[in-house]
Each structure stands twice: as structure tokens, then as C-alpha cells.
């Protein structure tokens, strides 16, 4: 069975060697030695000044919204995973959808200002499939209207834009380390924030609000990563460059062999060092997508309709019509992409798509 993604698993003995350190320390959570080591190594690998590791990829969004959105209207994209908009609603804010750019699939920065009202407090945008939003234009809009910017950067591990880590943009950026992601800790995530004062707020917010054992800065929640998760991340990180190289070979094969007269691909924003996290294609119609998906399933190949549906039509999120997102969401399919896909399997995928 070939799924849309395959979790990279490092040698078990290397993982258990890290686990032994946790066992020897008798310290399994509450920011132990392995969590601190992983944070340091990730800061170096990603070229970021700070990072707070957390127990999943959604809770950093919730913490950022709690601290920055203040129950207001949050401008966001309808083309993302449900967690993006669900976090807005969960934190008692109101999502206000803005349609997407048909080429890059990220929020259309030229439509943001017309959605701003006196109740708008923040912009929450997604770097879709690791493709950067127009961060420069969004920053200018946010400064002009005194808004906070949060980036759902779940797919952007290792991505650089204009020579800088994509995590360095916005007031807060977040990432997912779910098992399906390029870099993972089985479950997990991270929050990035350059402003020292806001960073401190985010830090105590992820640890029940603690200021030492008995005092409290303020409201907090338990978002801490465990030593078991950090151990997996530490084991995987040395293999990551090789994993990305192998994924690039798969992407190159797709680009060289798919007939792009039949489907469209994503346009990666200029000056981006991409991470080959996903490979989406857009069919001419939903009916064609369904037929190709059915044929692939006969070969035990299972791509994913990602992202579908357009979030503005989900019942509890229902908003105004988003013409481009509603057009693309039913027609987009993410093809299998992993570090060890065989050329024989890739050929089957391409033959079905081109046939």
C-alpha cells in the first residue's frame, strides 16, 4: 500500500539509546534534558533565534491566538487544514475568510485589506504545502492597520525565503511535528517568536503559566513536549538532509514525467528554498480527479484530497463565497511523496495520471 506520505523511522537502536538517557535521568517530561537538546539543535539547523517545543502542532496556534487575537476577528485562508480555522473558533475568535492566489494557493494578500474591520485583531495565514505567503506585503498591511500576524507554518520545516527561515516571519510562527510531516516527533510541534516579551508570554503559557514551582505569571495550559517525543526528534534530525534529497528525486520525477497539459501544479514563490513536503496537482474537473483516484486505488496507491473541502463551506465555519478556493479544493490531489518511493511505483502513478 502506497499512501500520500510515509513516516520516516530511524533505526530503533538509535532511538532506544536516547530513551535510555531519559530512563537514566528518571525524567520523562517537564522540559527535560532531551527537549532542551532538541531545541538547541533545531535552532542551529533552522537558523532561528528561539523555539518552544510543544506536544502537538495545533496548540501553538491556540496559544498565539489566545495572546494576540483577543476574541476579535481573525483574517484567514479557506484553503488549509481544518486545525487552522478550528483554532480560531476554539479561542472564541471569529474567522474572516479571504480567498487564495490561484497559483501559489496561499492567501491572496491583495484582498486582505478589504476584509479588515474595526474588530479585526490578527491575520492567520498558512504557508500552503511549504509555499510561502507574500510575507512582505502581509507585514506592511499588518503594520498599517496595527494587526498581529500568525503563520500556520505546519508544512514549512526547513523552508527559507530570501535566505531566511520562514519561521522568522510574523509575530508568531508555528509548526507541526506530526508523524506525517517531513520532520516529526510522532506527535509534536513548535512555536517561534522573535520578540523577547512575547516569547516569554508564549513560554509560560505553554507551562500552566508557571513562574517557578509555586508562583504564576498568568493563565497557561499544558503544551509541553515529552522526553519520549524529543528522543525521536533527536534520532531523526541527523537523517533529515538525506530524506529531503530523496524526496527531491521523487518531485523531480513527477515534474519530468507528468503531462502538465492535463493538470496544473503549484507555483513555488520566487526566492524560496523549498522542502519538498507535498506534491499537489490540480485537475480540470472533480470528476476527472475521482476517476484517477479510483484507478490509482486499484494499484493500492492512495493519494489525498488535500485540502478539501474549502473551509468556508464547513458548517461551523460557514462564511462568504470564496470563488477560487471553492474551485480548486474539489480538484486538487496530493500525490504520494516519501523518501523511499520506488521508480516502478512512480511510473504507475504517472501512467495512470497521463492515461
Judge contact between 190 and 42, C-beta under 8 A: yes
Give the domains, in start order, of the chain with CATH numbers.
2-99+106-238 (3.40.640.10), 239-354 (3.90.1150.10)
Q: Which of 43, 81, 37 is nearest to 191 (CA)?
A: 43
Using an 8 Å Cβ cutoff, are 23 and 322 in contact? no
pLDDT band at 305 (very low <50, low <70, confident <90, very high): very high
Nearest to 272 by CA among 104, 145, 142: 104
Q: What percent of the chain has pLDDT over 90?
A: 99
Q: What is the mean pLDDT of residues 257-279?
A: 97
Phi, psi angle pair for 337, to nearest 5°: -150, 115
- The pTM for the full model equals 0.97
Q: Mind listing the pLDDT tens digit for each residue in 37-92?
A: 999 999 999 999 999 999 999 999 999 999 999 999 999 999 999 999 999 999 99
pLDDT in tens, 193-231: 999 999 999 999 999 999 988 999 999 999 999 999 999
What's the CA angle centered on 94, arms 134 and 145, to 5 degrees? 45
| pLDDT tens-digit map of 150-177 | 999 999 999 999 999 999 999 999 999 9
Amino acid at each position: 500500500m502506497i499512501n500520500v506520505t510515509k513516516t520516516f523511522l530511524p533505526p530503533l537502536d538509535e532511538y532506544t539509546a536516547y530513551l535510555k538517557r531519559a530512563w537514566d535521568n528518571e525524567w520523562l517530561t517537564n522540559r527535560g534534558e532531551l527537549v532542551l537538546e532538541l531545541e538547541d539543535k533545531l535552532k542551529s539547523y533552522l537558523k532561528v533565534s528561539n523555539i518552544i517545543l510543544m506536544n502537538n502542532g495545533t496548540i501553538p496556534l491556540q496559544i498565539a491566538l489566545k495572546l494576540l487575537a483577543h476574541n476579535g476577528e481573525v483574517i484567514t485562508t479557506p484553503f488549509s487544514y481544518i486545525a487552522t480555522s478550528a483554532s480560531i473558533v476554539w479561542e472564541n475568535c471569529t474567522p474572516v475568510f479571504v480567498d487564495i492566489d490561484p497559483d501559489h494557493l496561499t492567501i491572496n494578500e491583495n484582498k486582505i485589506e478589504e476584509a479588515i474591520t474595526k474588530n479585526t485583531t490578527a491575520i492567520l495565514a498558512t504557508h500552503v504545502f511549504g509555499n510561502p505567503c507574500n510575507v512582505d506585503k502581509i507585514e506592511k498591511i499588518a503594520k498599517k492597520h496595527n494587526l498581529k500576524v500568525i503563520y500556520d507554518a505546519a508544512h514549512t520545516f526547513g523552508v527559507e525565503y530570501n535566505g531566511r527561515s520562514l519561521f522568522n516571519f510574523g509575530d508568531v510562527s508555528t509548526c507541526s511535528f506530526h508523524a506525517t510531516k517531513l520532520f516529526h516527533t510522532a506527535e509534536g510541534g513548535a512555536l517561534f517568536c522573535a520578540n523577547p516579551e512575547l516569547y516569554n508570554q508564549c513560554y509560560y503559557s505553554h507551562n500552566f503559566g508557571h513562574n517557578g514551582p509555586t508562583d504564576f505569571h498568568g493563565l497557561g495550559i499544558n503544551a509541553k513536549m515529552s522526553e519520549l517525543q524529543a528522543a525521536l526528534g533527536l534520532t531523526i534530525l541527523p537523517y533529515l538532509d538525506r530524506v529531503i534529497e530523496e524526496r527531491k528525486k521523487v518531485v523531480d520525477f513527477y515534474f519530468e514525467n507528468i503531462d502538465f497539459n492535463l493538470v496544473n501544479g503549484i507555483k513555488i514563490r520566487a526566492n524560496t528554498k523549498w522542502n519538498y513536503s507535498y506534491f499537489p496537482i490540480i485537475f480540470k474537473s472533480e470528476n476527472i480527479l475521482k476517476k484517477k483516484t479510483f484507478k490509482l486505488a486499484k494499484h493500492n496507491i492512495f493519494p489525498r484530497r488535500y485540502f478539501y473541502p474549502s473551509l468556508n463551506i464547513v458548517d461551523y465555519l460557514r462564511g462568504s463565497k470564496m470563488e477560487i478556493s471553492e474551485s480548486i479544493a474539489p480538484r486538487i490531489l496530493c500525490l504520494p511523496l516519501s523518501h523511499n518511493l520506488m521508480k516502478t511505483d512512480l511510473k504507475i502513478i504517472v501512467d495512470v495520471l497521463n492515461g
